[in-house]
Every structure is written in structure tokens, then in C-alpha cells.
Amino acid sequence: MVLEGARITLKEISEVDLDFVRRIESDTELWSFSEDVLTDPEELKRIIMHRITSDDSHDFIISKKENAGIPVGEVRTCSQKRRRTE
């Protein structure tokens, strides 16, 4: 799924984006206020692959159109439907 706005594109995350997402999520400087930044590449890969294949979340890569589609960030959403039915 791809959502396009005037200045940005949101593309549903896939295996192609794995390195970019791992780099963002393991950046301890980016997450300096977080107490539990995962830095193990294999553990991050397992978690991200679960999110890619799960219906519980929809993650997107943000790209600015002026940068020729180079990713600049990530948006994570989660489904509340499952939680409401439990």
C-alpha cells in the first residue's frame, strides 16, 4: 500500500526496508530518552519481520518527494480491534 500526499509518500514497510528500519530502531542517540533500545541486529530483524507479517500493526516508511524517494522516517500504527475483543 502506498499513500501519497503533496510532499510525502507513505509506503507500507517490507523486507526491502529492513536495514533502514533496523538502523533507526537501534540508534541509541535517536532514542536517548528510552531505557530499552534494542541493538541486537538479529532480535530486531525478528521483531520487524513479525510486524511486517502481522495484522496487528501497519508500519510505513516516510519519504519526501523532493528527495527522490529516499526514506527519512517510519510511522508505526497498531490495531486496537484485537485488544477490544479480548
Q: What is the pLDDT of residue 52?
A: 87
Taking the model in full, what pTM does it have?
0.76
Cβ atoms of 74 and 63 closer than 8 Å: no
Model confidence over 17-66: pLDDT tens digits?
999 999 999 998 988 888 888 888 899 999 999 988 888 778 999 999 88
Structural domains in the chain?
Answer: 2-85 (3.40.630.30)
End-to-end CA distance of the chain: 28
